[in-house]
Amino acid sequence: MSDASDPVAGRWRALALICAGVVGAMTCWFSATAVVPDLIVAWNLSQGQAVWLTNAVQIGFVLGALAASLVNLPDIMPLTRLIAGAALLAAIANAALLLEPGLPGAVAARFVTGVALAGLYPPAMKLMATWFIRGRGLAMGFLIAGLTLGSSMPHLLRALGGGFDWRMVVLASTLATIVSALIFGLLVREGPHAFGRATFDPRQSLAVLRDRPVLLANLGYFGHMWELYAMWAWFLAFAMAAGQGGVAPFGSPSMFAFIVVASGVVGCVLGGVLSDRIGRCLTTAGMMAVSGACAVLIGFAFTGPAWLLALVAVIWGIAIIGDSAQFSAAVTELADPRLVGTALTLQVSIGFALTVLAIWLMPHIAGLLGGWQWTFLALVPGPLAGAWAMLRLRGLPAARRLAGGRR
């Protein structure tokens, strides 16, 4: 279908509603992570035990996404119905933390939250793509900005709450996720550029993995994911360690973590604009170069001054997520149109599997190094490998299909 037939009417409203729904649902992703310092005290947890309140979500997401891709769920089920049901399940699982079920029960609840979010995030990307042909990179950037803002909100709630009970953060994120379910269930529909329905065939997942251009785009995404969620999950611990040394930008570690993660909203929009103008491959490689450099430089800024630490951290927060949407947009442009939902789900499931290892490694590396100052150096190989993969993709003839020929 040509760009000329791409209807303007309704697509920006649809994008706004999809983004609002993603913001609401993604508040429950880090709802427990943001209050880990409180839960360590309230539930008498070690830091090693507390890791699983974050990693259980990642593992649930991976297994949920893999299961969905194996049965091609995003390609055979109406998207809005799938997303609304997933958001409702995420809200229920998140609310289970309010029952204080103990560590095993909390980890199980977080796992179910991850499974549910696997039925929301990849299908939401496909849903957005049904509304956009021209400007898909920018639209995807707005959607990932919604994910970023939603993920950062629990840190803001904790920072503003001061003496708030941790339950208020969990309750607020639960209510936001219920609103998300209502938005997708009642207000959003699929756009005019539907990808078509696939039938169930597990071999289609293998076909996606054998596609070389899609594989390179995925390798870029995997390098990006090695870095992203480990930084998001552990930046609060890094900020608390810096604060103990007298370096405390923005007044409190929680506010510092919120500003750094939320600054990614700027990166998502900037990445979308750049990708639709100079190309997806150049944009992603450039963002990963900046991000990798910040992972190195933030160790030098750890001891201050505070303005320098804040500057490096905010630039890192912008760059680390600014390329994320473009990997997904690239897959929608490179993959077999009948298998876009499966391709996106496979991409994010394998990418999130890497985050489990990276998140688990960080506190162990911090322990070996005697603190958090240089721990993020372990993330640098991710953006380096990702940038290499995207530059290789740029040299392939198939890259002409990216962003209307902008590679």
pLDDT in tens, 153-197: 998 888 887 657 889 999 999 999 999 999 999 998 887 776 655
- Rounded average pLDDT over 137-155: 86
b/e per residue 299-328 (b: at least 16 CB within 10 A): bebbeeebebbbebbbbbbbbbbbbbbbbb
Q: What is the CATH number of domain 10-405?
A: 1.20.1250.20
The H or E element that residue 75 is part of is: helix 73-76
pLDDT > 90: what percent of the chain? Answer: 49
Mind listing the pLDDT tens digit for each residue in 340-361?
767 777 787 788 889 989 999 9
Cα–Cα–Cα angle for 151, 155, 157, nearest 5°? 110
- Rounded average pLDDT over 200-227: 79
- Rounded average pLDDT over 203-211: 67
ω before 305 within 30° of 0 (cis)? Answer: yes
Predicted local distance difference test score (pLDDT) of residue 197: 56
**With contact defined as beta carbons under 8 Å apart, do 206 and 215 qualify?**
no
Instruction: Tell how far CA 114 is from the center of its chain.
Output: 12
Predicted local distance difference test score (pLDDT) of residue 2: 40
Predicted local distance difference test score (pLDDT) of residue 1: 38
In the three-class reduction of DSSP (H, G, I as helix; E, B as strand; rest coil), residue 323 is classed as coil
Nearest to 276 by CA among 370, 403, 386: 403
**With contact defined as beta carbons under 8 Å apart, do 266 and 319 qualify?**
no
Predicted local distance difference test score (pLDDT) of residue 3: 41
103-117, 175-189, 191-205, range with the lowest pLDDT: 191-205
Give the number of C-alpha atoms closer than 13 A to the C-alpha of residue 120, restricted to the C-beta side: 39
Judged against a pLDDT cut of 70, whether residue 401 lies above it is answered with yes
Rg value, the chain, Cα: 20
**With contact defined as beta carbons under 8 Å apart, do 236 and 140 qualify?**
no
100-109, 174-183, 300-309, 323-332, range with the lowest pLDDT: 323-332
Q: How far apart are CA 246 and CA 123, in angstroms?
A: 44
Q: What is the dihedral of CA 162, 102, 231, 129, to 10 degrees?
A: -100
Predicted local distance difference test score (pLDDT) of residue 317: 96
Predicted local distance difference test score (pLDDT) of residue 67: 82
Predicted local distance difference test score (pLDDT) of residue 5: 46
- Rounded average pLDDT over 288-312: 95
82-86, 113-117, 209-213, 341-345, range with the lowest pLDDT: 341-345
Confidence grade of residue 143 (pLDDT, cut at 50, 70, 90): confident
Judged against a pLDDT cut of 70, whether residue 4 lies above it is answered with no
- Compute CA distances 336 → 48, 127, 203, 251, whole Å: 42, 16, 13, 49
Judged against a pLDDT cut of 70, whether residue 213 lies above it is answered with yes
Mean pLDDT taken over the chain: 86
Predicted local distance difference test score (pLDDT) of residue 257: 92
Judged against a pLDDT cut of 70, whether residue 141 lies above it is answered with yes
Amino acid (one-letter) located at 158: R
Q: How far apart are CA 190 and CA 125, in angstroms?
A: 11
Predicted local distance difference test score (pLDDT) of residue 304: 83
Q: How far apart are CA 85 and CA 76, in angstroms?
A: 15
Helices first, then strands: H and E counts in the chain: 18, 0
32-46, 257-271, 327-341, 364-378, range with the lowest pLDDT: 327-341
Predicted local distance difference test score (pLDDT) of residue 194: 67
Cα–Cα–Cα angle for 302, 235, 231, nearest 5°? 110
Mind listing the pLDDT tens digit for each residue in 268-281?
888 888 887 888 88
Nearest to 134 by CA among 276, 273, 231, 242: 276
Q: What is the DSSP string of 133-165?
A: STTHHHHHHHHHHHHHHHHHHHHHHHHHHTT--
Distance from first CA to last CA of the chain, Å, rounded?
Answer: 20
pLDDT > 70: what percent of the chain? Answer: 90
